[in-house]
Chain A
Amino acid sequence: MFFMNVAKAQTDSTASRKLKIDEVDFVTSYYHQDGDHSAVTGGVGNERLNDFGTSIDLQLSRFDKKLNKHHFNFELGIDVYSSASSDKIDPTTISSASSGDVRVYPSASYLFENTKRKYSLGGGLSFSNEFDYTSVGGNLVYSKATQDGNREFTAKASVFLDTWKILLPYELRGKANNDFKYKQGDSAPRNSYNLALGVTQVVNKELQVSLLADIGYQTGQLGTAYQRVYFGDPVNANIPFYSEKLPDHRFKLPIGLRANYFLTDRIILRSFYRYYTDSWKLTAHTAELEVPYKITPFVSIAPYYRFYSQNGVDYFKAKGEHMLADKEDYYTSDYDLSKFTSNMFGANFRVMSAKGILGIKSLNTLELRYGYYNRNDGLKSHLVTLALKFK
């Protein structure tokens, strides 16, 4: 009997050391927006945009002899979009590459988990490429949990080394551009450095909270060269605009607080608040509440609402309100940086089953999420996302 148990333990141990697929996540979405404040045409013009995004995420793991766990993650994402405003960069081109584009972004990561000492250490690499923009990223992550698992500290350092291929509005190519740093076709860097520090805490059997600070610093070409800024007192009346100019440094400090509470056997409250401030003097508040209702233990529907408010940056003015006589160092008419409030509401539908869904045994979770976004400057958008988890 003893030898049978030893043999069984050896078999289990060998089996656990084999690399196995934990789960495969497939996420696909459709996004549509419409508005009248296109930054490409100086803050006035069609902002219609359609984006199809799909990603597949493969998660594998294995245990070693010491029963430490090794996690491997591979992801591939593809976004395909068409944009009415981007076609205005160079409307003389019959088939402008910028009117639609494809973004491809593979990534890979590894995480070592010491199951006894309750800490994890890992890193990852990412890549993203589209017509005029390439991004190479790397990150390191460390987390440490208490022995009872009720508190966990996480630190994640990330670097994104990005390169723009400068595209100027076609009217400004080879023309005066108010001492803009780059010419058409130049390569310009944009680097981002982030340190995310987070703490999660179990408060009681029904409540857990997390606090996350994402300290970020960006440097390089932070403005978008093909976004026009129209001046009220232009030097050349035929070309009354220049490329957007923004500072080449930006320090960001968002602090997010999340609290999830199991209110009753059927109702859960998921709440989130974020305060944001940065060196461009933009401050913002975000509040979100999602209320999952369990129709059965494995089926839920979760209506949600999100409110957002930002004060806008000083560099923003509407079309024609910037004056060259003011000798501003920086200027933009991008309404994404203006003062506004937005409301978003929608619902998340989820089905889970260990036995499979829709006759597919390995399909563990199916989620469908819809959101409607409304900004008080007139921008409206719809987003539908489908997520499938296979185990």
Chain B
Amino acid sequence: MMRYVLLAVCVCYTLLMMTSCASVKPYQKSKLNDAEMVLSSRSIERYENNFLMYREGASGGNGGKTGGGCGCN
């Protein structure tokens, strides 16, 4: 039951964020386009994500790799 509550909270939070968005023009995106603001998985984190995928039971949901390789060591 707890898992569904958490899922619902995540989805509601995101929908709430999206419905209250301001329209941002391209010339107003200097901060959003900063290299530190990247939302996708960064190449510097590739090996970190890899070892965490092997050492922990959970994986995915972070834009990184989700399969391939045994991770058995």
Q: Compute how far the CA of A337 lies from the CA of B56 in the bound complex, rounded to whole angstroms.
A: 7
Given A275-B3, A276-B59, output 16 extra A-B contacts at Cβ < 8 Å.
A31-B47, A162-B69, A198-B63, A201-B14, A211-B14, A216-B60, A216-B66, A254-B59, A254-B60, A256-B63, A260-B37, A274-B58, A275-B7, A373-B55, A383-B51, A385-B47
**Contact between chains at B29 and A192 (CB < 8 Å):** no
| A192 pairs with B68, CB closer than 8 A | yes
Chain B residues whose C-beta falls within 8 Å of the C-beta of A373 in the assembled complex: 51-52, 55
Which range contains the number of A residues in contact with the other chain? 35 or more
Please report A residues at the B interface, Cβ cutoff 8 Å: 25, 27, 29, 31, 33, 49, 51, 53, 55, 57, 81, 83, 85-86, 101, 103, 105, 126, 128, 130, 132-133, 135, 137, 148-151, 158, 160, 162, 164, 190, 192, 194, 196, 198-206, 208-214, 216, 218, 224, 226-227, 252, 254-260, 262, 268, 270, 272-278, 280, 282-284, 286, 292, 294, 300, 302, 308, 310, 312-313, 336-337, 342, 348, 350, 352, 365, 367, 369, 371, 373, 375, 379, 381, 383, 385, 387, 389
Q: Shortest CB–CB separation between residue A259 and chain B, in angstroms?
A: 8
Question: Is there an interface contact between A310 and B34, defined as CB atoms closer than 8 Å?
Answer: no
> Roughly how many angstroms separate A266 CA and B68 CA in the complex, as a whole number?
39
A196-B66, A208-B32, A313-B57 as given contacts; A371 in contact with B39, CB under 8 Å = no
The residue of chain A having its C-beta at the shortest distance from the C-beta of B69 within the complex is A128
Which residues of B have CB within 8 Å of A216?
A: 59-60, 66-67
Does A201 lie within 8 Å of B17, measured CB to CB? yes
Q: Give A300 Cβ to nearest chain B Cβ, in Å.
A: 6
Check A276 against B61 for contact (C-beta < 8 Å).
yes
Given A204-B24, A208-B39, A383-B47, the answer on whether A158 and B56 have CB atoms closer than 8 Å is no
